[in-house]
Amino acid sequence: MMSAQAQPAAGVRLAAVARDVTKRFGRTVALDDVGIEIRDGESHALVGRNGAGKSTLVSILTGLQAADSGEVSFFGEPAPALSDREAWRRNVACVYQRSTIMPALSVAENLFINRQGKGLISWPKLRRQANELLESFGVDVDVTKPASDLTVEQRQLVEIARALSVGAKFIILDEPTAQLDGPAIERLFDRLRALQDNGIAFMFISHHLEEIYEVCQTVTVFRDARHILTAPVAELGRAELVDAMTGEPGGLSVPGAADRPDVGEDSEVALSVENLTGDSFRDVTLRVRKGEVIGLAGSASSGKHQLAETVYGLRKASAGTIRVSGEKLKPGSVLDALRHGIGCVPRDRHHQGLVLGLSVAENAAMTVMNRLGPAGLVAPGRLAQVGRTAIESYDIVTSGAGQPVSDLSGGNQQKVVMARALAGDPDVLVLINPTAGVDVKSKESLLGVVDRVARAGTAVIVVSDELDDLRVCDRVLVMFHGQVAAQFGRDWSEQELVASIEGVTE
């Protein structure tokens, strides 16, 4: 351990405290004698790699699970009994990555679910209360609309408003920014600061370290189920923070494009997109040469995801052509894209990337099942071979090729998706948010793979907002409202790139 848990100054109220908490699942120790203290009105970051014990601590702090030993208290009072959900809700609320909103019910009902009042429900009154609540919070949505119509940003605000209206003064945000674009993140942070001024305490979980520096006052690092350090954010350098998370000095070593030899003009064009128009983008033309890595950046509404998904055939273009090595692809056919040598890491691994119940080997081989034997035969030996190769090449931590991917951590799951994309030795690799929600080590490993395949001559498109992901790119195209608005070479600076993504022009 690098330092003891921070000692609060006398007189500071503690919003939430966990002390000496230990939790085991079978033989696995999920939390080993850890502690955290969140002061009233502070924003406290909890960081650590996947598997560090963050989620377990969240479930203990929210009363979903009991600790094996140790104590939890809120504002000096011991935590209520596990069965008393109401009391927990008055103390703490958590906004998860996955929504806890019921999509078919109206916004108003979602806000007051299970507290609609005694006796018959008065719908006009419920709507009025909901309007008042959201108005006081500065959220402008129609409360009669079904919650499924909300944007991610609005949904989070509704969840926070709901928690506050129950009386919670301590809110846990689990990767709140993962699905938001730049301006929405800024708006969220502004709101967090305002709420903090009103005495609301936050525990903030994020893989995005810059955000911690922007919005948090204190940071606690967990690693391998242990508490590593707690320190004021202002006193902790980025390198130190990464060191604490990884347990290795040296920080994040993401490969940069500059380390690769230049891709000359004479390198063959692997992918060419001509005047492509589709969902949320129009008239896009771009060429990617063999061995070249292209970044596609832009806000969530820029159309970059849709463009990438169209190239892989997940969406159908309404006009224009996509060619791989000169051959035209059939629009909207993943099968045709695969046949012509395109591999893809889709936007969300849980949605399109993995079949959680199936093994590492089957997931990794899913795009090449037709190559494992004659007439569709999947020879078990060949399948296991694909699995083992994937585990070795992409550094997947698993008990074996036969383990279901549901047992793996997020970072390792993402490596399986990468393995699936690369199983057919594609000439063109399309990566959409390749490092979303993965820890620092996995990120290094995944971006290392991008560097490796580019050196071997694969053309790569990386769709991402993460600056770390874009460092590996030879060129970065910034999309804005469905069109390529700007292009940067290897020597882009953070400021100009971010400004361009946000649509700020000088």
Partner 1 sequence: MTKTLSPETATTPAPASGRRQPIRFARFRDLALVPAIIVLIIIGAIVSPTFLTIGNLTDVLQQQSALALLVLAEAMILIAGKFDLSLESTIGFAPVLAIALVVPATDQAHGLGTEWPQWMAIPLCLLIGAAIGGLNGLLILKFQLSAFIVTLGMLITVRGLHVGVSGGSSLFQLPPSFMYLGFEKWGGLAASVWIALIAFVIGIIVLSYFRQGRSLYAIGGNVDAAKAAGIRTNAVVWTVLVLGGVLAALAGILETGRLGAIGANMGEGMIFTVFAAAVIGGISLNGGKGTLFGALCGVLMLGLIQNLLTLMSVDGHWFGAINGVIILIALVLSRLTTGKAQE
- For residue 98, state whether it binds partner 1 (rule: CB under 8 A): no
Q: Please, which of residues 420-449 interact with partner 1 by CB under 8 A?
A: 420
Contact 170, 16 (CB under 8 A): yes
Please say which residue, 165 or 412, places its beta carbon nearer to partner 1. Answer: 412
- For residue 489, state whether it binds partner 1 (rule: CB under 8 A): no
Q: Which of 178, 206, 225 is nearest to 56 (CA)?
A: 225
- For residue 340, state whether it binds partner 1 (rule: CB under 8 A): no
- For residue 399, state whether it binds partner 1 (rule: CB under 8 A): yes
Please say which residue, 63 or 426, places its beta carbon nearer to partner 1. Answer: 426
- For residue 362, state whether it binds partner 1 (rule: CB under 8 A): yes
Contact 30, 56 (CB under 8 A): yes
Please say which residue, 232 or 400, places its beta carbon nearer to partner 1. Answer: 400
Please say which residue, 294 or 391, places its beta carbon nearer to partner 1. Answer: 391
- For residue 403, state whether it binds partner 1 (rule: CB under 8 A): yes
Out of 138, 256, 400, 489, the residue judged to bind partner 1 by CB under 8 A: 400
For partner 1, which stretch binds (CB under 8 A), given 24-32, 212-220, 243-251, 433-441? 24-32
- DSSP annotation of 180: -
Out of 272, 310, 367, 464, the residue judged to bind partner 1 by CB under 8 A: 367
- For residue 307, state whether it binds partner 1 (rule: CB under 8 A): no
Out of 370, 389, 409, 483, the residue judged to bind partner 1 by CB under 8 A: 370
- For residue 224, state whether it binds partner 1 (rule: CB under 8 A): no
CB half-sphere exposure, 80, CA atoms < 13 A: 14
Rounded Cα distance, 31 and 371, in Å: 44
Torsion on CA atoms 495, 255, 433, 319, rounded to nearest 10: 80
Please state the closest distance from residue 367 (CB atom) to partner 1, in A.
5
Please say which residue, 172 or 421, places its beta carbon nearer to partner 1. Answer: 421
Out of 152, 166, 178, 366, the residue judged to bind partner 1 by CB under 8 A: 366
Please say which residue, 167 or 402, places its beta carbon nearer to partner 1. Answer: 402
- For residue 401, state whether it binds partner 1 (rule: CB under 8 A): yes
Please state the closest distance from residue 33 (CB atom) to partner 1, in A.
19
Please state the closest distance from residue 460 (CB atom) to partner 1, in A.
18
Region class of 235: left (phi > 0), else alpha (psi between -120 and 50), else beta: alpha
Out of 104, 351, 493, 506, the residue judged to bind partner 1 by CB under 8 A: 351
Please state the closest distance from residue 140 (CB atom) to partner 1, in A.
32
Contact 41, 196 (CB under 8 A): yes
- For residue 94, state whether it binds partner 1 (rule: CB under 8 A): no
Rounded Cα distance, 308 and 292, in Å: 16
Rounded Cα distance, 27 and 88, in Å: 29
Out of 206, 272, 359, 435, the residue judged to bind partner 1 by CB under 8 A: 359
Which residue type is seen at 465?
D
Out of 337, 454, 461, 462, the residue judged to bind partner 1 by CB under 8 A: 337
SS3 letters for 257-304? HHHCCCCCCCCCEEEEEEEEEECCEEEEEEEEECCCEEEEEECCCCCH
Rounded Cα distance, 67 and 65, in Å: 7
Please state the closest distance from residue 110 (CB atom) to partner 1, in A.
25
Please state the closest distance from residue 336 (CB atom) to partner 1, in A.
9
State the residue for tokens 């948010």: 433
Please say which residue, 179 or 359, places its beta carbon nearer to partner 1. Answer: 359
Please state the closest distance from residue 342 (CB atom) to partner 1, in A.
10
313's CB contacts (< 8 A; 6+ apart) are 329, 330, 331, 332, 333, 334, 335, 336, 337, 342
Query: What does residue 174 show for φ and ψ, rounded to 5 degrees?
Result: -100, 105
Please state the closest distance from residue 217 (CB atom) to partner 1, in A.
38
Contact 94, 172 (CB under 8 A): yes
Where are the alpha helices (H) located in 116-253, listed in sequence order?
Answer: 123-136, 152-166, 182-197, 209-215, 238-246
C-alpha angle 264-266-272 in degrees, rounded to nearest 5: 95
What tokens does 35 get? 């502690």
Please state the closest distance from residue 246 (CB atom) to partner 1, in A.
19
Please state the closest distance from residue 304 (CB atom) to partner 1, in A.
17
Q: Which of 274, 298, 277 is nearest to 288 (CA)?
A: 274
Please say which residue, 160 or 391, places its beta carbon nearer to partner 1. Answer: 391
17's CB contacts (< 8 A; 6+ apart) are 35, 36, 37, 38, 71, 72, 73, 74
Give the residues lining the site for partner 1 (CB under 8 A).
Answer: 26-28, 312, 314, 334-335, 337-338, 344, 346, 351-359, 362, 366-367, 369-370, 372, 375-380, 384, 388, 391, 397-403, 420
